[in-house]
Amino acid sequence: MSLDLLGVFRRELQLTFTGSPGREPDWSAALADGDDAGFLGPGSAAWAVHGSMAPIVAGVRALMMQALHPGALAGVYEHSRFREDPLGRLAGTIRWIFTVTYGDTTAARSASSHVLALHRAVTGTYVDGDGTERPYAANDADLLRWVHLAFTDSFLAAHLIWGSFWGGRGSIPGGPDAYVAEWAVAGELMGVPDPPRTVAQLHEALDDYLRSGALAHSDRLDEVMRFLRAPGLSPLLRPGYRVLVAGAVASLREPYRQLLGLPRPRLGPVPLPAVAGTRAVLAGVRLALGRRGPTETSARRRLARLRSEQQDGESPDIG
């Protein structure tokens, strides 16, 4: 890839992920401020999982999983501007994830409160799998729990498949259970009651939704899935995105893939393995964006400042 093309590719990725091509977003730079180490930190399972390239495909997978709940799907379908501004919604989600991961406790709580405030207007009714009309509100504990489960499962699954190819960062300090336990803090910040703390609890909680009939296929789901497969990205990003979609589908557990109505992924006329194809795309993204993102760098600046202040006798809480 030529330097000119690499620069264009980098700007398109930055525009897609943060809406701030060519510079660090203001909210990310602000994470260098703050008075403590945050809920998580260097050496944590969450920093390992969220610091690789795997979250890019995990985000696509999480949206697929979340859409299986008709209540969650109705909120997105009826209240989100995903058709007109898909990148804006993506940038907002990334901001919350990385603020909770890398920010201090005040920033993490503030970001979560902001999302919950936006949710208050997201109400309506949906038709469940039995044809019964039911009310929903985005801040209902049941919907918040499903979204948290889908997120946690997707980011862990993607990391276990693709994270190990990024300079050894695929290993998770404390193992997969540690990630589920650590990221439970994000669920608690969003009002999720008793989020799971182990992989076994996570899978059991997900499968409870499946067994109960709370998840359903619908025409509306098909429409959203068509959009997820082709969300109007820059032409430069579309080929790689199609590969990432195939990777996301390949990483789904079979009952959920079937409920989504998705075939086993194939790429083009030749059945290129989705896992290998996704790995190649993520390698290209890593080449363009670098190994360490600006948000983690901002967090490390905050931690270095806190350590310096502690050595000078101010004794801030650095965890």
Q: Over its length of 319 residues, how does the chain's per-residue pLDDT go in tens digits?
A: 554 766 776 777 776 777 667 678 888 999 999 999 999 999 999 999 999 889 999 999 999 999 999 999 999 888 876 676 666 667 788 899 999 999 999 999 999 999 999 999 999 998 887 888 999 999 999 999 999 999 999 999 999 999 865 444 458 999 999 999 999 999 999 999 999 999 999 999 999 999 999 999 999 999 989 988 888 788 888 898 999 999 999 999 999 999 999 887 665 544 458 889 999 999 888 877 777 778 999 999 999 999 998 887 755 555 5
- Count of all residues that appear for the chain in the document: 319
CA-based nearest residue to 55, from 115, 96, 114: 96
User: What Å distances lie between residue 103 and 90, 153, 182, CA to CA?
Assistant: 19, 22, 15
Max Cα separation, the chain? 65
The pTM score is 0.89
Give the type of residue at 215: L
Q: How do beta strands 123-127 and 133-137 pair?
A: antiparallel
CA-based nearest residue to 88, from 294, 223, 232: 232
Opening angle at CA 228, ends 227 and 229, nearest 5? 90
pLDDT tens per residue across span 47-94: 999 998 899 999 999 999 999 999 999 998 888 766 766 666 677 888
> In DSSP terms, which residues pair with 123 in a beta bridge?
137
Give the type of residue at 14: Q
Give the DSSP per-residue string, 265-296: P--TTTT--HHHHHHHHHHHHHHHH-SS-HHH
Q: Which two tokens stand for residue 63?
A: 């949206």
What span, in angstroms and rounded, lies between the C-alpha atoms of 213 and 202?
18
The residue assigned the tokens 């999720």 is: 192
- Give the pLDDT confidence score for residue 189 in this predicted structure: 97
Which region, left, alpha or beta, applies to residue 211 given φ > 0 means left and ψ of -120 to 50 means alpha? alpha
250: Cβ contacts below 8 Å, ≥ 6 apart: 264, 265, 274, 275, 278
Burial of 3 (0-12, 13-18, 19+ CB in 10 A): exposed
